[in-house]
Amino acid sequence: MQPQLRTIIARIEHAEVSQLLESVFTDLNRLLGYLQQVKTAARVGDSADAALFLLGIVRSEAFAAASRMDFQCEGQSLAVELSEELERTGFAIRHELRTVFERILAGVDATDEADETGRRIRDAHDLLHNCFQQSTIALARVFEPELDGSILFDDIRVKRDTSVLLYEDLDALLRSAGHAEKHGDPLSLSLFSERLEHFRSGSMQYLMQKDSETCVSFIEDFRVSRFSGGARFFLRRFSCYLELLLNHVSMRAVLANATPKFAAA
């Protein structure tokens, strides 16, 4: 467990609350440890069996942790804020577990096509990893409201930086698309094409897998529409999609305390 969490626990005067919080943090930390093993196994092409087995352990352990939180909320007279946060945490864990095992990993088998199995395992890992991290941060903030999550988890700082970059590039691409749609001249289309290529070779990698695949499809459509007279129709459709992406990226948990700067067009 991180020293910052131990410090928070040590400052709690009520022994039962201190023990409760230590138990919850320990559960979440153990779950994150299992997920690290999942990530390691997923890197090895022939280890899908191991990754899926570990995810099964995560499922059992996480459901048990959520049940313990429910029991503690019912069995103790907790402060309203802590009780509500524990309820939210238990709900979030169960919700994400259902998403992973009823949708992302539904029907998956280690003998399936390796790339597809690996992608689904990575998606499952990322969703649960984010859930357990954000749950830890939210519970810690009940006692230390100004806590910066990147102090607890180094990868949050990286995710924040890449999400800010992604937001800025999407915003610049959207404004470039709007300019090209309005003017429709060869220069504005050329500038948009350059901006699109910059995005494709750079921050597009920080999108979710399905969004990245959709963007690749749009890029192929632009190459066709640019020389078939349909560029403006394409730009209108693509701009609508970019607006949705911008909204989704802005709602990422790692950007909750960050204000992305708008990139210059």
Among 124, 156, 104, residue whose Cα is nearest residue 51 = 124
Do 146 and 203 lie in one domain? The reply is no
Q: What's residue 265's pLDDT?
A: 36
Asked which of 152, 187, 210 is the last residue of a domain, the reply is 152
Residues 127 and 61 in one domain: yes
Residuewise pLDDT in 10s, the chain (265 residues): 889 999 999 999 999 999 999 999 999 999 999 999 998 887 765 568 889 999 999 999 999 999 999 888 886 788 899 999 999 999 999 999 999 999 999 888 766 667 788 888 988 999 999 999 999 999 999 999 988 888 898 888 888 889 999 999 999 999 999 999 999 888 999 999 999 999 999 999 999 878 988 999 999 999 888 777 788 899 999 999 999 999 999 988 778 766 555 343 3
Q: What is the pLDDT of residue 149?
A: 86
**Are 148 and 162 members of one domain?**
no
- Structural domain of 195: 158-255
Question: pLDDT at position 12, please?
Answer: 92
Final residue belonging to a domain, choices 152, 182, 201: 152
CA separation for the pair 167, 245 (Å, rounded): 9
Predicted local confidence at residue 20, as pLDDT? 93
pLDDT at 107: 85
End-of-domain residue from the set 152, 170, 200: 152
Whether residue 263 is contained in a domain is answered as no
Q: What is the CATH number of the domain that holds 106?
A: 1.20.120
Is residue 115 located within the same domain as residue 166?
no
What are 224's two structure tokens? 């066709």
Q: Are 18 and 140 contained in the same domain?
A: yes
Please report whether residue 15 resides in a domain.
yes
* Identity of the amino acid at 191: L
Q: Does residue 22 share a domain with residue 116?
A: yes
Question: Is there a domain that residue 260 lies in?
Answer: no
In a domain, 198, yes or no: yes
Same domain, residue pair 127 and 22:
yes
N-to-C CA span, the chain: 44
48 within a domain of the structure (yes/no): yes
Please indicate, yes or no, whether residues 52 and 98 belong to a single structural domain of this protein.
Answer: yes
Report pLDDT for 100: 95
**Number of folded domains in the chain?**
2
Asked if residue 118 and residue 18 are part of one domain, the reply reads: yes
Q: Would you call 197 helix, strand, or coil by DSSP?
A: helix
What's the confidence (pLDDT) of residue 255? 82
The per-residue pLDDT for 45 is: 54
Same domain, 37 and 144: yes
Cα(187)–Cα(209) distance, integer angstroms = 32
The predicted structure's pLDDT at residue 262: 39
Note whether residue 251 is domain-resident.
Answer: yes
How far apart, in whole angstroms, are the C-alpha atoms of residue 233 and residue 248? 23
Q: What is the pLDDT of residue 263?
A: 40
